[in-house]
Amino acid sequence: MRNNSEVKSLDLKETQIAIKSLKDYFQRDLANTLNLARISAPIMVRPETGLNDNLSGVEKAVNFDIRNYKINVEIVQSLAKWKRNALHEYNFKCYEGLYADMNALRPDETLDATHSVYVDQWDWEKIISKEDRNIDFLKVIVSEIYEVFKRSEEYINQVYPYVLSKKLPDQIYFITAEDLLKLYPDASPKERERLITREKRAVFIIGIGRDLSNGEPHDLRSPDYDDWDLNGDILFWDDVLGDALELSSMGIRVDSDSLKEQLKLSDKEERLEMDYHKNIVSNKLPYTIGGGIGQSRLCMFFLEKSHIGEVQASVWDDSTIKKAKKDNITLL
């Protein structure tokens, strides 16, 4: 336990140093735990390749033309599909994987304490066997990642013992989106997330994208990278925010059958004409599991900050800047 008389917050300089220390520790441990090699990744792709992440399917990617060559490109929204293709192109083997720093712009985001136009995350992907495409294997990988979170918390808390506190429970709690709906049938999806995460402190919600028994999905998810039955989100309860904080979206990726089914359900079957999708249908690409882990959100949570702008440099609207000053929050 910390002595409350000695508790203080990290100042601006300490915060910047702590961000670097925490990120270095986490990515090194993640790579060792999941057998991942760090690689370089693109900040832009050609839209016709189908490699850009469509997220929930409605966000519009930033795009521009390379002036002298009449080439249209998009800023990546994440590397969900690019990574799987890279594993094939780079000749990775089963149970080997990769990770990369992903920096994206998402202009459709609603700016608030946990959302920014600028997105920075570790995007990772690992080859698995066809037999691994099941809930039990998904839980094993989630549990391994959770142990990385716990070790990272222990490390940074030892560096700043009179500033930071232990926040994570010993185990992460697993629940399907359908069971969560049955548990709180009268609550909205976000309210259900808050209720279960406040109780359990660390939760993995399984099965996001497919319609539940009430006729609605827990949340929207693009139909062409995660298998909607084998994916999920990692959420931690954030005492500073008094809310659930999503740290990662991840899952076992679509195979030929689930891709075609999900594109049909989403009325997006025209994507089957794109190279990436053709390669999945023809089984050219390996079976994989992967996800993204928010770098700024990780720092925000473990460094006990109340706004994502305290751990990343972005652009904010006037009302956010005014409120931050009023609340004595320093936006980088």
Query: Annotated catalytic sites, by residue?
Result: 53, 106, 121, 233, 246, 249
Q: How many angstroms separate the CA atoms of 120 and 101, rounded?
A: 7
48 with 272: CB under 8 angstroms? no
First to last CA, the chain: 30
- Strand spans (E) along the chain: 36-38, 44-45, 63-66, 71-75, 97-105, 118-127, 173-176, 202-206, 226-238, 243-253, 288-294
User: What six digits make up the tokens of 69?
Assistant: 């060559």
Q: What angle do CA 267, 50, 81 make, to 5 degrees?
A: 100
Tokens 């000749």 -> residue: 91
**CA 128 from centre of chain:** 20
